[in-house]
């Protein structure tokens, strides 16, 4: 083998094995998010003023790019707010359902009766 090629292979192998080892900083890092108190889930939202709503700002935002949720974390009364990408204008798909409004009353009735599985 030529000297430059063998040196290149040795350096490459050392880099590969060196990058596979776990660093000390990775072992010591614990990813933990902790709040002093939960957001109050009983407080009503201020419509269209969420950026100034103190309780809404205390909620924990979770998202994956398509589905978002604000978790309030109140132990006595849990509340979550969902946001799904097709609900917003500007989607490349036409997700409007003209038959949705007439079914809204029946959907609410089933939800309040606890018959959630019927909706699926």
Question: Residue 94 — pLDDT band, cuts 50, 70, 90?
Answer: confident
Q: Please tell me the predicted confidence (pLDDT) of residue 24.
A: 63
Q: Does 70 or 52 have the greater pLDDT score? A: 70
Query: For the whole prediction, is pTM greater than 0.85?
Result: no
Q: Is the pLDDT of residue 105 over 80?
A: yes
Work out the percent of the chain whose per-residue pLDDT is above 90: 0
19-62 pLDDT tens trace: 777 666 556 667 777 778 878 888 877 767 766 777 878 888 88
66, 85 Cβ separation under 8 angstroms = yes
pLDDT of 91 reads 62
């Amino acid at each position: 083998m030529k000297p430059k090629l063998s040196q290149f292979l040795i350096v490459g192998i050392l880099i590969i094995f060196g990058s596979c080892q776990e660093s000390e900083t990775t072992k010591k890092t614990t990813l933990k998010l902790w709040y002093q108190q939960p957001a109050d889930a009983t407080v009503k939202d201020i419509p269209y003023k969420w950026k100034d709503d103190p309780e809404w700002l205390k909620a924990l935002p979770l998202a994956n790019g398509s589905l978002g949720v604000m978790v309030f974390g109140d132990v006595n009364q849990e509340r979550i707010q969902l946001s799904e990408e097709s609900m917003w204008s500007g989607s490349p798909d036409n997700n409007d359902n003209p038959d949705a409004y007439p079914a809204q009353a029946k959907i609410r009735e089933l939800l309040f009766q606890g018959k959630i599985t019927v909706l699926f």
